Amino acid sequence: ASDMGKDLEKVLLTQEQIETRLDEMAARIDSDYAGKDLLLVGVLRGAVMVMADLSRRLHTSIEMDWMAVSSYGSGTKSSGVVRILKDLDTDLHGRHVLIVEDIIDSGLTLSWLVSNLRSRGPASVEIATLLRKPEAAKVEVDVRYVGFDIPTEFVVGYGLDFAEKYRHLPFVGTLAPHVYSG
Ligand code: PRP
Ligand code: MN
Ligand code: MG
């Protein structure tokens, strides 16, 4: 499966659609956080592209930090128990925190992360995600900024991987079934 053209089924969101939506999200964030110092928290590794492209559209005062998390034990996310692989270097006390994510699928990662970060005494914690799969939600997560609600399909690109591949694609596409079922 090294021929990427054959691995992709269709383009779900073009680079242009993503960029237009990020413009709108950034404008809302700028206006909501006007006069405040904002800490963007990116969730490694999927959020790298969204963080890079969203942050460069912001005109408010921002800092950036990163966390890496992993589901605990079995390798599936169904437990909702998350382990911190890399924690923030920033003290959250009194900070306005905006978590930046590529996708909310079951919601378990973010649900856990929000309560973890809220326990650290921040002034506020909100979420910005490029993608959300409403039909896959196992827990309700209150998300302030959503790029696109998408169907429950296997999507890759723009930070999203399948077995660590395809993250570099500048668009979001669906994977052909032969890639993940074969
Ligand atoms: C993916 C995605 C989100 C999370 C969403 O990350 O980037 O962080 O899963 O899933 P959930 O809503 O069901 O919890 P993943 O754990 O695959 O790590 P990655 O970002 O390094 O690809
Ligand atoms: Mn992720
Ligand atoms: Mg992944």
Q: How far is the CA of 45 from the centre of ligand 2 (A)?
A: 5
Structure tokens at 150: 């998408």
Domain chopping of the chain, boundaries: 15-153
CATH 3.40.50.2020 assigned to domain 15-153? The reply is yes
What is the mean pLDDT of the segment spanning 4-32?
96
Round to whole Å and give the CA distance between 149 and 3.
29
Mark 117-155 as b/e (b = at least 16 C-beta within 10 Å).
beeeebeebbbbbbbbbeeebeeebebbbbbbebeeeeb
What is the mean pLDDT of the segment spanning 93-108?
97
Q: Is pTM beyond 0.80 here?
A: yes
3-state secondary structure of 143: coil
Per-residue confidence band for 1, with pLDDT thresholds at 50, 70 and 90: very low
Q: Whose CA is nearest to atom 7 of ligand 1?
A: 46
Specify whether the CB–CB gap between 98 and 41 falls below 8 A.
Answer: yes
Ligand 1: atom nearest CA of 106 is 13
Identify the CA nearest to 71 among candidates 43, 50, 38, 51.
Answer: 43
Q: Residues enclosing ligand 1, CB less than 6 A?
A: 43-46, 77, 101-109, 161
Catalytic-residue membership of 87: no
Whole-number pLDDT of residue 18: 98
Specify whether the CB–CB gap between 181 and 155 falls below 8 A.
Answer: no
Q: Choosing from 30, 32, 65, 105, which is the catalytic residue? A: 105
ipTM of the complex: 0.98
